[in-house]
Copies of this chain bind each other. A is one copy, B any other.
Amino acid sequence: MFKRMETFQQWLNQENIDAAIITSKENVFYFSGFYSDPHERLLAIAMFEGGEPFLICPQMETNAAKDTGWTYPIIGYKDTDDSLQILTDEIKKRIGNGKTIAVEKNHLNAFRYESLQRLFPNTQFKNAERQLNEQRLIKDEREIQKLEKAAELADYAIQVGINEVREGATELQIVAAIEYELKKKGVQQMSFSTIVLTGEKAASPHGTPGLTKVKKGDFVLFDLGVVYEGYCSDITRTVHYGGPSEKQAKVYETVLRAQQTALSIGRPGIPSKELDLAARTIIAEAGYGDYFTHRLGHGLGISVHEFPSITETNPLPLEKGMVFTIEPGIYIPNEIGVRIEDDVIITDKGAVSLTRFPKQLQVIS
């Protein structure tokens, strides 16, 4: 864990930055192993170009932080304390007023940011985001093992869900069954609210499961993920109940071909956008170009959506150890929705799926 802080310190050093304030729960976890959602309360790690870091958290969390193996100072504050003032005082003890401080500008809110600007009136604030993104981009062996395990549990969840598909089952009943079986297996957290959508509702890429019932002729779409030891999976499968119409079969086959094609061309050195464009072209040529309304995929790791974004314009070359989703979809409003999503890792031999649930159209009857 502490190797990561060393790498980050080297960056501070190179960039002549005196200190950094890390405030997102994901990056606090990345550096410390301590995962906590403080809601509106302040949780932060302060790191310095030289010297020890410290962690600041609500007083009631200090024991939990210690238990994760963080061996540097921990500062607990009460709900009535001014936590940002305490953080500032501690930083000033170490670096005085500090000429340059890095913060997570994509996480820190404007109120806290302006407060810090007042508390450090002569300081320039830089964005640590890029360095943090780059450090987290390439996954190491231990991270890959966790991502594999998270993906395996996602595969299992899809099977549980498919087993529940029957005439009249509601979306929420299926969600309930999936999450129940996963929790029984020891899963502490889903990476986001499990999505099961049936029929027309599947045409809404981010719809909310409700009391809509499965009926003959429906596509049933599952989009779900699991957090395993801090790492996320994110899988989508779409199955058919009763047997597809010709149009439904064509939509499915198009999405599948787009997904497999994007997957097949992923390898080190290829620009990210090539994958998006390959999938997008197949969907457009089949006549559904207007109905693939989102990017091909997103990075995956401690966050379920993280750097990089796999879009048709992102030139970032793929590298060995990058993990991201490939998830084309076609959404014909109020009619048909199909998406197929895998989590993939870039290896020397190409892109390899961590999620392995079969992708050929499954017809439930």
Q: Which residues in A have some Cβ–Cβ distance to B below 8 Å? A: 35-37, 39-40, 58-61, 63-64, 78-80, 103, 105-111, 113-114, 125, 127, 129, 170, 172-173, 175-177, 179-184, 186-189, 193, 204-211, 293-295, 304-305, 309, 311-313, 331, 333-334
Distance between Cα atoms of A313 and B79 in the complex (Å): 10
Q: Chain B residues with Cβ under 8 A from A334's Cβ?
A: 63
Do the beta carbons of B114 and A331 come within 8 Å of each other? no
Q: Which of B40, B58, B103, B170 contacts A294 (CB 8 A)?
A: B58
Q: Chain B residues with Cβ under 8 A from A204's Cβ?
A: 60, 63-64
Q: How far is the CB of A105 from chain B (nearest CB, A)?
A: 4
Q: Chain B residues with Cβ under 8 A from A173's Cβ?
A: 183-184
Known: A207-B64, A305-B40. A311 touches B113 (CB 8 A): no
21 sampled A-B residue pairs with Cβ under 8 A: A39-B304, A40-B106, A59-B293, A60-B294, A61-B206, A63-B333, A64-B204, A64-B206, A80-B311, A110-B113, A111-B127, A170-B186, A172-B186, A172-B188, A175-B183, A176-B180, A186-B210, A186-B211, A188-B208, A188-B209, A189-B208
Q: Which of B40, B180, B209, B294 contacts A79 (CB 8 A)?
A: B294
Q: Chain B residues with Cβ under 8 A from A106's Cβ?
A: 40, 109-111
Q: Which of B105, B172, B177, B304 contacts A109 (CB 8 A)?
A: B105
Q: Chain B residues with Cβ under 8 A from A129's Cβ?
A: 111
Q: A58-B293, A80-B311, A111-B127 are in contact. List 12 more A-B contacts (CB 8 A).
A: A61-B206, A64-B206, A79-B309, A80-B313, A105-B110, A106-B109, A109-B110, A173-B184, A176-B182, A179-B179, A186-B211, A189-B193
Do the beta carbons of B183 and A176 come within 8 Å of each other? yes
Distance between Cα atoms of A201 and B225 in the complex (Å): 26
Q: Chain B residues with Cβ under 8 A from A184's Cβ?
A: 172-173, 176
Interface centre among A60, A79, A110 (most CB of B within 10 A): A110
The 9 closest A-B pairs by CB, nearest first: A176-B183, A79-B295, A110-B113, A105-B111, A60-B293, A105-B110, A180-B180, A60-B205, A176-B180
For residue A182, which residue of chain B has the nearest CB? Answer: B176
Distance between Cα atoms of A184 and B175 in the complex (Å): 9
Do the beta carbons of B183 and A36 come within 8 Å of each other? no
Q: How far is the CB of A222 from chain B (nearest CB, A)?
A: 15
Known: A63-B204, A179-B176, A188-B210. A107 touches B109 (CB 8 A): yes
Q: How far is the CB of A50 from chain B (nearest CB, A)?
A: 26
Q: Chain B residues with Cβ under 8 A from A125's Cβ?
A: 110
Do the beta carbons of B206 and A60 come within 8 Å of each other? yes
Interface centre among A61, A180, A334 (most CB of B within 10 A): A180
For residue A205, which residue of chain B has the nearest CB? Answer: B60
Distance between Cα atoms of A176 and B160 in the complex (Å): 14
Distance between Cα atoms of A331 and B62 in the complex (Å): 12
Q: How far is the CB of A39 from chain B (nearest CB, A)?
A: 5
Q: Chain B residues with Cβ under 8 A from A205's Cβ?
A: 60-61
Do the beta carbons of A60 and B193 come within 8 Å of each other? no
Distance between Cα atoms of A180 and B295 in the complex (Å): 33
Q: Chain B residues with Cβ under 8 A from A180's Cβ?
A: 176-177, 179-180
Q: Chain B residues with Cβ under 8 A from A181's Cβ?
A: 176
Q: Which of B78, B210, B331 contacts A60 (CB 8 A)?
A: B331
